Structure 1
Amino acid sequence: MSEIARTRPPEDADERSTFTGLLDFLRSTVELKLTGLTEEQAFARPVDPSALTPAGVVKHLTAVERFWFAIDFAGLDVEWPWTEDDPHGAFPVLPDETVDGILTAYRTECARSREIIAAAGLDDVARSEGMTFNLRYAVAHLIEETARHLGHLDILRESTDGEVGE
Structure 2
Amino acid sequence: MTWIAPDVRRVNPPYIADERIRLDSWLDFHRATLLHKCTGLTGEQLAKRPVASSQLSLLGLVRHMAANERIWFRIRFARASIGDLYESPEHPEGGEFALADPAVAETDFGTYMEEVAQARMVVQDRSLDETFGDESVTVDLRWLYAHMIGEYARHNGHADLIRELVDGTAGL
TM-score, normalization by structure 1: 0.90
- Give aligned-pair identity as a percent: 38
Deviates more, 1:46-55 or 1:10-19: 46-55
In the TM superposition, what is the alpha-carbon distance from 1:2 to its structure 2 partner? 5.4
In the other structure, the counterpart of 2:171 is 165
Residues 1:137 and 2:143 are matched in the alignment:
yes
Given that residues 30 and 152 in structure 2 are in contact (C-alpha distance below 8 angstroms), is that contact kept between their aligned partners in structure 1? yes
Counterpart amino acid of residue 132 in structure 1: T
The one of 54, 57, 72 aligned to 1:50: 54
Q: Which runs of 4+ in 1 moved over 3 A?
A: 87-90, 94-97, 128-131
Residues 1:101 and 2:107 are matched in the alignment:
yes
In the TM superposition, what is the alpha-carbon distance from 1:117 to its structure 2 partner? 1.6
Q: Deviations over 1:38-60 (max 9, x none)?
A: 12111111123212111011100
Residue-pair matches, total: 165
Distance in 2, Cα, partners of 1:41 & 1:101 = 15
Given that residues 66 and 111 in structure 2 are in contact (C-alpha distance below 8 angstroms), is that contact kept between their aligned partners in structure 1? yes
Consecutive unaligned residues of structure 2, counting only runs of 5 or more, are none
Distance verdict in 2 for CA 1:61–1:70, change over 3 Å: same
Q: Deviations over 1:63-108 (max 9, x none)?
A: 0010000000000112222525434346223447522111111111
Deviates more, 1:155-164 or 1:3-12: 3-12
Q: CA RMSD in A?
A: 1.9
Distance verdict in 2 for CA 1:51–1:122, change over 3 Å: same
Distance in 2, Cα, partners of 1:106 & 1:19 = 20
